[in-house]
Each structure stands twice: as C-alpha cells, then as structure tokens.
Amino acid sequence: MLKPVTNEETKVFLGAPPGWDVASLGPCNALPVAMETDSSGTPTVFYSYWRGTWGDRLAILLGRPVRLCVLGSAHPIVSLDTKRR
C-alpha cells in the first residue's frame, strides 16, 4: 500500500474532516501536505507525497494501475504525477 511521506515541503498536516465517524469509517490519520496559497494567504493547492513498497513499485512498473479513492458524493479536482516540487 502506498503510504504518505513527509519531505522538506510538507509543513501542514490535515486531520479528519468534520463529522468523521471513527466507529463506522475507521481511523483517519493526519495527512502531511505542502500547501500553496494565493496573495491573500488562502490555500489554493495541496500536494501530498506517497511512497510505495518495492512490491508496489514493481506492480506499477508491470502495468498495474494506481487507484485513487475519494470519500464523498462529488469528486474533487485531483491529479497524480511523479514531479518533485
């Protein structure tokens, strides 16, 4: 399983969303993110970084797709890449 990792850019940790029910949904660990803001300081983009095991990396190399799971009724704007910021 891919795991979130910290780096020199990850300075913020996002917690569980309001109303998160641990009993029915399970734990929601803090997610380390790098944040970009606009000129007023309002967050506009969050980046999280993930690392897989050697097995994950081999599976991806051999063509297994990476799955993104989003909880909720609408899909937010997301992207996946391997760029370093």
Asked if 43 and 35 touch (Cβ cutoff 8 Å), the reply is: yes
Instruction: Label residue 78 by pLDDT band (50, 70, 90).
Output: confident
- Up-side HSE of residue 10: CA atoms within 13 Å toward CB? 15
How far is Cα of residue 82 from the mean position of the Cα atoms in its chain?
A: 13
For 69, how many CA atoms within 13 A lie in the half-sphere containing its CB? Answer: 3
Q: Is the pLDDT of residue 83 over 90?
A: no
Rounded mean pLDDT, 32-58 = 93
Which sequence spans correspond to the domains of the chain?
A: 1-85
